[in-house]
Amino acid sequence: MTTVVTDTVTAPQAAAPTELPEVRCPSAVAPADARELSKQFFDRLRDLEEGTHAYQYARNTLIEMNMSMVRYVARRYRNRGDDMEDIVQVGTIGLIKAIDRFDLTREVEFSTFAVPYILGEIKRFFRDTGWAVHVPRRLQELRSELAKAKEQLHIELDRDPTVRELAAHLNLSEDEVIEGIVAANGYTAGSLDTPTDPDPSDQGRALADVLGEDDPGMETVEDLHTLAPLLRKLGERERQLIELRYGQEMTQSQIGAELGVSQMHVSRLLSRTLAKLRAGMLTER
């Protein structure tokens, strides 16, 4: 790849300061050339005033020239299921931090300095957003330790390790290991559109079609079980009143005629009996 660089910028309309080479296409600069050019830009950047046009040119050119470093690190995570462009954007944040903090006087290659920053931002991205549900940081770290321990013990034992063996290997209690295994289930979440049949050619039901749901009738059954002994504790007249009103669905006027009392009296009796039942229901719950 040919790098397009002139000796210096002399045209007044050019974007670069006069003491820096003009890089017309920073993203096209080969990595080897970018290393040499970066030294020149870093050397000039430390003397420029932040916020000036010259400073922005030098800083932006450094970012674009070193994007190949970000893409190189991001490729390690291409099989994690996330959009590669998102990973590159996160890694770019690390690159920018490295550029802002790099000092040529340390006599360290910029790539050596920058890669840990890029890698750190990407790892933080997966750590903070990679879980399908939120779990404590302690359990996130335990998941990684368990994964490494399982792999190592599987090689040594030629089989999957037990909880006891994992606990002994990690110097943890069995309860802590179990907690970590359960928490690891929150790392990924299955789609409700996943077919119930593993055969991809099958166009049958999705997982959402076979999942159960709350049956509203269950609450009614629970209420009836709670209400039955309370009804048995009522007096005969109160039970008769409830039977006529809710069993036979008679109006208060009809009940009054049946019992030989006024509708107002029926209303008072019903209110008192229902209040007694409600109080009993609340106590039972």
Query: Which domains does the chain show, CATH number per domain?
Result: 26-129 (1.20.120.1810), 133-190 (1.10.10.10), 230-284 (1.20.140.160)
Return the axis-axis angle of helices 84-101 and 110-129, rounded to nearest 10°. 130
- Which of the pair, 91 or 194, is modelled with greater confidence? 91
The pLDDT assigned to 92 comes to 93
What was the pLDDT predicted at 206?
Answer: 63
Q: Judge whether residue 45 has pLDDT over 80.
A: yes
pLDDT attached to residue 95:
92
The beta-carbon contacts of 32-41 under 8 Å, at least 24 apart in sequence, are 33/3, 33/5, 34/65, 34/66, 34/68, 35/109, 35/110, 35/111, 37/5, 37/65, 38/62, 38/65, 38/66, 38/110, 39/104, 39/110, 41/65
Read off the pLDDT of residues 142-186 as tens digits, 9 standing for 90 and up.
777 888 888 888 888 888 888 888 889 889 888 888 877 776 665
pLDDT tens profile 71-115? 988 888 776 655 788 888 989 999 999 998 888 887 888 888 899
**Tokens linked to 4:** 């397009």
Mean pLDDT computed over 112-131: 79
Residue 2 has pLDDT above 70, yes or no: no
**7 pLDDT band (50/70/90 cuts)?**
very low
Average pLDDT value over all residues in the chain: 78
| Phi-psi domain of 270 (left: phi exceeds 0; alpha: psi -120 through 50; beta: other) | alpha
The token duo for 59 is: 């800083």
Local structure of 205: helix, strand or coil = coil
The residue that leads in pLDDT, 127 or 121, is 121
Burial of 264 (0-12, 13-18, 19+ CB in 10 A): exposed
The burial class, CB within 10 Å (0-12 / 13-18 / 19+), for 259 is: middle
Residue 210 has pLDDT above 80, yes or no: no
Residue 216 has pLDDT above 70, yes or no: no
Q: What's the angle, vertex CA 210, arms to CA 209 and CA 212, rounded to 5?
A: 110
Q: What are phi and psi of 23, to 5 degrees?
A: -105, 105
3-state secondary structure of 23: strand
Mean pLDDT, range 40-60, rounded to an integer:
87
C-beta contacts of 116-125 below 8 A and 24+ residues apart: 118/69, 118/70, 118/73, 118/91, 118/94, 119/73, 119/94, 120/94, 121/90, 121/91, 121/93, 121/94, 121/97, 122/73, 122/74, 122/77, 122/87, 122/90, 122/91, 122/94, 124/90, 125/86, 125/87, 125/90
Of residues 180 and 13, the one with the higher pLDDT is 180
Could you give the C-alpha distances from 90 to 58, 86, 95, in angstroms and in order? 21, 6, 9
Distance CA 99, CA 46 (A): 11
Q: What is the pLDDT of residue 188?
A: 55
Q: What is the pTM of this model?
A: 0.43
